[in-house]
Structure 1
Amino acid sequence: MSRYEIVYSKQPPKLDPCDGAAWAAADSGTIEHFPWYKQGDRQATTFRALWSDDGLYLRYECQDRHISAVTTETNGPVWVDSCVEFFVAPNPKKPLNYYNFEMNCVGAFLMGTHCDWGEGYADRSRDLGIQVATTVPGPTKDESPQDNGWTLVARIPWAHFEKDAPHLPPKPGDVWRANFYRLGGKTDPQCACWAPIDYFKPQFHLPQFFGQIVFVKRP
């Protein structure tokens, strides 16, 4: 099973995708599995994650020669754009209760809940303080010969998981289940994952294939 350690940071990183130094303490993960590959370039995607007292922080670095986005509204179809995603199941006793966060290259995002207590795509971004920042100016993006990749950072407050997580903030050693994804784009669309998926067609909503994310504190 894929395993990734999320390092605690007393000082949360600023939501600046150009500030790579703030993520030096975070391990690097790779979205390198293409279960449904047919043709085109398998473009590199790396991610990093940190946790702090106020929330979970994510960073994606995407090689991309065809950057595009048309979705600007919250909970719109960001998956058709150049997009990264994070799916997470915070309760080990309920591994099928999971949340999805999908974010396109211009910072529009979708958030969904798939739990035994409720399911849906309500916009709670203002209430919970979810934030996304990217290196791609919006509000939309057309493909360009100058396209050469993009970086996205995001903050997800712990309050989003208050109905499922055993501890908030997590305790060192807590293990959640999750997967990191890359998707979308008009030309050469990517459909890749960090933890491998064995399924007959493209589908990310499969918590049984999530890997482990472990919350740690290091000296």
Structure 2
Amino acid sequence: MGKTTHGAAPFVALGILGLMLSSACVERSEELSAAQRERVRTHVSRTAPHPSHPLDIAFGDSVELIGYDLSEETWARGTDLTVTWHWKVLAPVGDDYRLFTHIEARGTDTLNHDGDGAVRGLYPPSRWQAGEYIRDEQRIHLPSEWGMGPSGATATDAAFYVGFWRGNERLPVRRGAQDGDNRARPLTIPVSGGNPVEAGPPRMPELVASRALSSITVDGDLHDPGWLASPWSQPFVQTMNGAQARFEARARVVYDDTYLYVAFQVADTNLQSPHRNADDHLWEQDCVEVFLDPDGDGRNYFEIQVSPRGVVFDTRYDSRRQPQPFGHVNWQSQAQVGVALRGTLDDDQVDEGYHVELRVPFSALVAEGSAATQEAPAPGSTWRMNFYVMEKSPNGQDAAGWSPVLVPDFHATDRFGRVTFRDLPRNQRANPERPSVNATEAALEDRGRALQETAERVEAQNRPAPGEHPVAP
């Protein structure tokens, strides 16, 4: 296939970019590093490109999609495809607009790749200037089970939908093929390969949260004996379809009379954590996220995020994503966090990942000013929870979650997993005020075999049956 070529005219948009960094009203406002500016340089030009697949699609009076390039003309399941969109900027798009890319089969099995690609992370549409040509490159993985139904009912092509969104609105598609909802349809590509799977969505996972065997020091070191009473979750999965995630992550939960504890293990080869202030938008870079819905009704639920730097974002919602835009950010979780890095932050060194310990008092899990109280859950009770990891990658943002929500919204409370609280015999409970090493060692010895059996039983319950779609519990 033909390659896109660019003229040798000097790049002139970076000066404008530098000015915009100090004036644009966009979520991501920090200045770009020299390396990031160099990455942007290769994606923005004043010289018209020559895409191998020309198009003529107009979005409002601001932008035209003039074509695309493909790394392959057929997409095999289980492989990556690089698609490069070529945008022509006629006028400023407007504050806070972002690009979206949806891939669908028969109107279902939607893959959401809104944030993938260097342009979308570093130079979003809200910064584009009239006269620029934007080379928007996305590398997208097609899961091996995507578009596959039982008994060989298989999608034979993938339809791409692209456009611009801001809150609940989209830029109108003024010219070109679209779906009637201001999603332009520039591309349909044949797909191949894969194996039939059983019908139905991935099941919602379950996890046991045991009472802590001993007091836990919240420092990111996950070797405290107090954690051993609870099993780890199985690996996190892709949030949209339950397929294997691109990186490894898992969580576990314990509790005592006063606190809920959540631990994360995350594999990450490039730790990025520039945010330094409480309630910064941590989801723009690397972070872990905990969603808590104690009574499981989808109302009055809580969100806590922790970055590898140990910064916390916390908020409470009355109902799904309400109030806009980020809930009651004045709510305070009173969380104590500890992070252990396996690498270094914000540099070019290859990292391994990080561990997070999070401790939240049950008493904080109430609405602001409410006379209600939240106590430690009774043994046998179940809370709805979900756990996510956001990971900044060279090509955009990756996400993984414990329970796949199957829609492009982490706030789908009906898809939160179930965490059931389990008590311990009173003589084996931890005393958080005066922990006893001898008692802890005795408890560990007495319960070691039982814990192993419990972990094996939970794992066996969550293991997919033969032929079942392999997702995390």
- Percent identity over paired residues: 22
Q: Say whether 1:136 aligns with 2:341.
A: yes
What are the superposed Cα offsets for residues 157-207 of structure 1, whole Å, 9 maximum, x if unpaired? 1112245988511110111111010113243633111112111x3x21111
Contact 2:316 2:331 (8 Å CA) reproduced: no
Match of 2:375 in 1: 168
Match of 2:301 in 1: 98
How many Å apart are 1:36 and its aligned residue?
Answer: 4.5
Contact 2:222 2:355 (8 Å CA) reproduced: no
Secondary structure of residue in 1 paired with 2:341 = coil
Contact 2:222 2:263 (8 Å CA) reproduced: no
What are the superposed Cα offsets for residues 17-46 of structure 1, whole Å, 9 maximum, x if unpaired? 124143222210134221348xxx711001
Structure 2 counterpart of 1:193, from 401, 410, 415: 401
Structure 2 counterpart of 1:76, from 270, 274, 280: 280
CA distance in 2, matches of 1:156, 1:144: 34
Secondary structure of residue in 1 paired with 2:229 = coil
CA distance in 1, matches of 2:393, 2:347: 8
Deviates more, 1:49-58 or 1:2-11: 2-11
Match of 1:108 in 2: 311
Q: Which runs of 4+ in 1 moved over 6 A?
A: none
Q: Say whether 1:182 aligns with 2:386.
A: no
AA matched with 1:136: L
Q: Say whether 1:212 aligns with 2:426.
A: no
How many Å apart are 1:217 and its aligned residue?
Answer: 1.4
How many Å apart are 1:146 and its aligned residue?
Answer: 3.3
Contact 2:378 2:421 (8 Å CA) reproduced: yes
Structure 1 counterpart of 2:229, from 21, 25, 46: 25
Q: Say whether 1:65 aligns with 2:307.
A: no
Contact 2:289 2:389 (8 Å CA) reproduced: yes
* Structure 2: gaps spanning 5 or more residues: 1-203, 426-473
Contact 2:363 2:373 (8 Å CA) reproduced: no
Higher alpha-carbon Rg: 2
Contact 2:217 2:224 (8 Å CA) reproduced: no
CA distance in 2, matches of 1:212, 1:82: 25
AA matched with 2:305: E
Contact 1:5 1:27 (8 Å CA) reproduced: yes
TM-score (norm 2): 0.41
Structure 1 counterpart of 2:351, from 147, 164, 173: 147
What are the superposed Cα offsets for residues 59-83 of structure 1, whole Å, 9 maximum, x if unpaired? 1111110111111111111111211
CA distance in 2, matches of 1:25, 1:63: 23
How many Å apart are 1:135 and its aligned residue?
Answer: 1.4
**Alpha carbons of structure 1 residues 19 and 3: separation in structure 2 relative to 1, 3 Å:** closer
CA distance in 2, matches of 1:154, 1:46: 14
CA distance in 2, matches of 1:151, 1:195: 20
Structure 2 counterpart of 1:124, from 320, 324, 332: 332
Q: Which has the higher contact order (CA 8 A, sep 6+)?
A: 1
* Structure 1: gaps spanning 5 or more residues: none
Secondary structure of residue in 2 paired with 1:134 = strand
Secondary structure of residue in 1 paired with 2:283 = helix
Match of 1:34 in 2: 238
What are the superposed Cα offsets for residues 45-104 of structure 1, whole Å, 9 maximum, x if unpaired? 011111011110111111110111111111111111211111010114x33331101111
Contact 1:80 1:186 (8 Å CA) reproduced: no
AA matched with 1:147: D
**Alpha carbons of structure 1 residues 78 and 177: separation in structure 2 relative to 1, 3 Å:** same
Match of 1:16 in 2: 219
AA matched with 2:405: I
How many Å apart are 1:11 and its aligned residue?
Answer: 3.0
Secondary structure of residue in 2 paired with 1:29 = coil
Number of residue pairs matched by the alignment: 209
TM-score (norm 1): 0.84
